[in-house]
Amino acid sequence: MRITVEDLSWAVSGTGILCDIDANVTSGETVGLIGPNGSGKSSLLRCIAGLRAPTSGAIRYETSDIHGWSARQIAQYVAFVEQALDSDSDLRVADVVALGRTPFRDRWRGLSHTDRAIIDAALAQVGLADLRSRGWKTLSGGERQRAHIARALAQQPWGIVLDEPTNHLDVRHQLELMRLLTDTDQTVLIALHDLSLAARFCDRLLLLHRGTLVATGPPEDVLTPDRLRDVFEVDAEIGQDSLGHLTVAYRGTA
Amino acid sequence: MSASPNQATDSDRSEVTAGIAAVLHPAARGAAREVPDAPPRGRTAWSLLGLSGIGFGLLAVSIVVSVRIGTSGVSYGDLGRSLGSRLGVAEPLPRLLDSLIWDLRVPRVLMAAVVGALLAVCGAVLQAVTRNALADPYLLGVSHGASTGAVLVVVLAIGAGSLGVTGGAFVGALVSFGLLMLLLRRSGLDSVRVVLTGVVVGQLFAAVTSLVLMASGDADATRAITYWLLGSMASARWGVVIVCAIVAALGLAVVWWYSAALDAFSFGADTAASLGINVRRTRIMLLVVTALLTSVAVASVGAIGFVGLIVPHGVRFLVGPLHRALLPFAALAGAVFLVWTDALARVSFAPQEVPVGVFTALIGVPLFLFVLRRRGEL
């Protein structure tokens, strides 16, 4: 599904967080959202996932403005995964994934056969089928994040929005998670801190700085030493590894 | 992916879903074939059904046995005749004994069951809404508001007898809850704010209660209120029991309707919202319903502590954290628990009666510790 952000601004009690953002994510694309801490990545993602209403501007799913849509309607199109999300209650893995069926469920009834089949498929897709009856608290960080991805997939969304899902994961699990996301032909919008990871897995990058979009395009166009100096305040070297992936090495702060 | 989502409603999306259902998400198709289409989940449903059978059986037995227990002995035969005579199939009992069973003992035991169920359900709901394992029905400060109302009625001698106290307590509870919502109006019902504001409002009303008691300097009133604050079923009568039972049934139905939303709150408000829950409306609705239910319970029998805190934890240990099962089982377990503690309160120091709140804590604390240990949280 094509997601379009038109002239979006968002302010909290007079303080502007996002300013005049125009961006889009086309169907089936994996788009990375990068930017330093406090640049407004999370806010933009929350606006796009319908969790915050923009002060002005519009968000369109395909051609329709989501302004005035109910949370349930939005949840039927877009799934949202927060960073390192924990819970006190000891849900089983299958129960967590079943939460993804919430926007489609009849309140009085339990899960239907269709729901269960979708949950099983989502568990299989992220490789958690064997852990389906395990309690949440017994899972490792990587397994938890995969469970959240499975929950998002169980929502059968037309687009998935993720806020730094690779935080707190070791290298192998970061790669696995990104592979999992890019292997689906989902429309994916993902905020990332690791620029090399973003360069390697994303079709396009959106670079956010102090609430405005300063660059957008393929990773090799967006990630230039000048821009990294201006936005991230680091002295960086952009190179290529032997596999042909773009790499970002840091010499120090700028 | 080709269809455009132009202002879709639930129904046209469900058409789309029906189309997708068989094929799942495009990316999941390959995986879907490896999975048997009807997983053997029946066992869980059956074991829950069995457990609910046991629960209802236990409650019925508890109620019948508990009616017999008390300072004056009542036999099962007497109980049967009292019930039978009302259905017109048995000889009536002597007036005094009949009145003891039908007008005092039976409503009292039923009251314990209803209040136990109410408190346990409210505790479970508030623990989920505030994401706080220590939440209990009195978290919102309504019990302190209720006692202020009750004290004012007693000290100023408005109304007549126990009904006056009940009415005063109910009004007091509503006033304190109104103040709480007023204070929360701008801050957006965030979990921590609800808990903090609830505590603050509760403390305010507790202070007012003490002030009124001190100012009046009436020893009898102080004693009556202390007793009432700890909770007692002694004054339960049919009228109040029936009102409580109706309110409890309605309240349970409402919160059960929200069970999927309560599950969605497990990972916080933003995740709940992203799962299609209208967070603000759901929170307001659940806070209002639990406050009303608690107010009814507190106004009828006083503030009985610990039931709403421990029963949900114990029941999670048995049936898991999903609210679809948790809420009805919490109601059952709360009912059984309070029926027995009330029976104990009646006979343990007979003829002197101990406030039931004392026993819910005495029994509740070790049970609570046991459950937390077993769940590895302590």
Domain limits, chain A:
3-217
Q: What is the pLDDT of residue B327?
A: 95
pLDDT band at B44 (very low <50, low <70, confident <90, very high): low
As a whole number of angstroms, the distance between CA A120 and CA B48 comes to: 22
Closest C-alpha to B113, from B307, B366, B260, B268 = B307
Among A101-105, A150-154, B22-26, B52-56, the range scoring the smallest mean pLDDT is: B22-26
Best mutation target, B43, B275, B326, to test chain A (most A CBs within 10 A) = B275
Q: What is the pLDDT of residue B49?
A: 84
A100:B275 CB<8 A? yes
Question: What integer best gives the mean pLDDT of chain A?
Answer: 90
A121:B24 CB<8 A? yes
Considering only CB atoms, which chain B residues are within 8 Å of A114? Answer: 21
pLDDT at A109 over 90: no
In this structure, which amino acid lies at residue A72? R
Name the more confident of B90 and B239.
B239
Q: Are strands A188-191 and A246-253 parallel, antiparallel or unpaired?
A: unpaired
Token pair 């007692």 is found at B232
A1:B266 CB<8 A? no
| Per-residue pLDDT tens over the stretch B307-352 | 998 899 889 888 889 999 999 999 999 999 999 999 988 888 877 7
CB atoms within 10 A of CB B350: 13
CB atoms within 10 A of CB B80: 14
Name the more confident of B214 and A159.
A159
How are strands ordered across the β-sheet holding A204-209? A78-81, A159-163, A188-191, A30-34, A204-209, A212-217
Nearest CB among B17, B32, B277 relative to A104 is that of B17
Best mutation target, B11, B187, B274, to test chain A (most A CBs within 10 A) = B274
As a whole number of angstroms, the distance between CA A77 and CA A70 comes to: 12
Q: Which domains, ranges and CATH numbers included, belong to chain B? A: 74-374 (1.10.3470.10)
A23 HSE (CA, 13 A, CB side): 28
Whether chain A has a CB inside 8 Å of the CB on B255: the answer is no
Considering only CB atoms, which chain B residues are within 8 Å of A79? Answer: 274
Helical H segments across chain B, by residue range: 10-23, 29-34, 42-68, 76-87, 95-99, 106-129, 142-156, 161-184, 191-216, 219-230, 238-257, 259-264, 269-274, 279-301, 307-319, 323-347, 356-374
Name the more confident of B155 and B188.
B155
As a whole number of angstroms, the distance between CA A179 and CA A165 comes to: 13
**Angle at A207 (CA atoms; ends A205, A209), nearest 5 degrees:** 170
Which chain B residues in 301-340 lie under 8 Å from chain A, judged by CB atoms? Answer: 316, 320-322, 324
pLDDT band at B162 (very low <50, low <70, confident <90, very high): low
Residue pair A7/A58 in contact (Cβ under 8 Å)? The answer is yes
Which chain A residues in 140-159 lie under 8 Å from chain B, judged by CB atoms? Answer: 153, 155-156, 158
Distance from CA of B182 to the nearest CA of A (A): 20
pLDDT at B250 over 90: yes
The CATH number of domain A3-217 is 3.40.50.300: yes
Which chain A residues in 63-92 lie under 8 Å from chain B, judged by CB atoms? Answer: 63-64, 70-80, 82, 85-92
Whether chain B has a CB inside 8 Å of the CB on A232: the answer is no
Among A115-129, B11-25, B141-155, the range scoring the smallest mean pLDDT is: B11-25
Distance from CA of B87 to the nearest CA of A (A): 36
pLDDT at A62 over 80: yes
CB-based contacts of A120, cutoff 8 Å, min separation 6: A129, B32, B35, B36, B39
Distance from CA of B213 to the nearest CA of A (A): 41
Nearest CB among B28, B41, B375 relative to A121 is that of B28
Q: What is the pLDDT of residue A103?
A: 92
| Per-residue pLDDT tens over the stretch A111-133 | 888 999 999 999 998 889 999 99
Helices A113-125 & B10-23 angle (0-180, nearest 10)? 60
Mean pLDDT of B109-128: 94
Whether chain A has a CB inside 8 Å of the CB on B377: the answer is no
ipTM confidence score: 0.89
**Residue A13: is it exposed, middle or buried by C-beta count within 10 angstroms (0-12/13-18/19+)?**
exposed
Considering only CB atoms, which chain B residues are within 8 Å of A124? Answer: 28, 31-32, 34-35
A124:B38 CB<8 A? no
The size of the A-B interface in CB pairs under 8 A is: 164
pLDDT at B82 over 90: no
Closest C-alpha to B261, from B234, B286, B289, B297 = B286
Distance from CA of A48 to the nearest CA of B (A): 11
**Residue A63: is it exposed, middle or buried by C-beta count within 10 angstroms (0-12/13-18/19+)?**
exposed
Q: Are strands A159-163 and A188-191 parallel, antiparallel or unpaired?
A: parallel
Mean pLDDT of B26-55: 57
| Per-residue pLDDT tens over the stretch A197-238 | 999 999 999 999 999 999 999 999 999 999 999 999 999 889
Distance from CA of A241 to the nearest CA of B (A): 30
Task: Please list, residue by residue across A197-219, b when 16 or more beta carbons sit within 10 angstroms of its beta carbon and e when fewer do.
Answer: bbbbbbebbbbbbebbbebbeeb
As a whole number of angstroms, the distance between CA A34 and CA A41 comes to: 7
B185: left (phi over 0), alpha (psi -120 to 50) or beta: alpha
Considering only CB atoms, which chain A residues are within 8 Å of B276? Answer: 70-76, 102-103
Considering only CB atoms, which chain B residues are within 8 Å of A125? Answer: 27-28, 31
Q: What is the pLDDT of residue B163?
A: 62
Q: What is the 3-state secondary structure (H, E, C) of chain A?
A: CCEEEEEEEEEECCEEEEEEEEEEECCCCEEEEECCCCCCHHHHHHHHCCCCCCCEEEEEECCEECCCCCHHHHHCCEEEECCCCCCCCCCEHHHHHHHHHHHHCCCCCCCCHHHHHHHHHHHHHCCCHHHCCCEHHHCCHHHHHHHHHHHHHHCCCCEEEEECCCCCCCHHHHHHHHHHHHHCCCCEEEECCCHHHHHHHCCEEEEEECCEEEEEECHHHHCCHHHHHHHHCEEEEEEECCCCCEEEEEEEEC
pLDDT band at A149 (very low <50, low <70, confident <90, very high): very high
pLDDT at A182 over 70: yes
For chain B, the first-to-last Cα distance in angstroms comes to 49
Residue pair A149/A81 in contact (Cβ under 8 Å)? The answer is yes
Residue pair A239/A64 in contact (Cβ under 8 Å)? The answer is no
Q: What is the pLDDT of residue B36?
A: 40
Nearest CB among A76, A86, A129 relative to B276 is that of A76
Whether chain A has a CB inside 8 Å of the CB on B275: the answer is yes
Q: What is the pLDDT of residue B184?
A: 84
pLDDT band at B35 (very low <50, low <70, confident <90, very high): very low
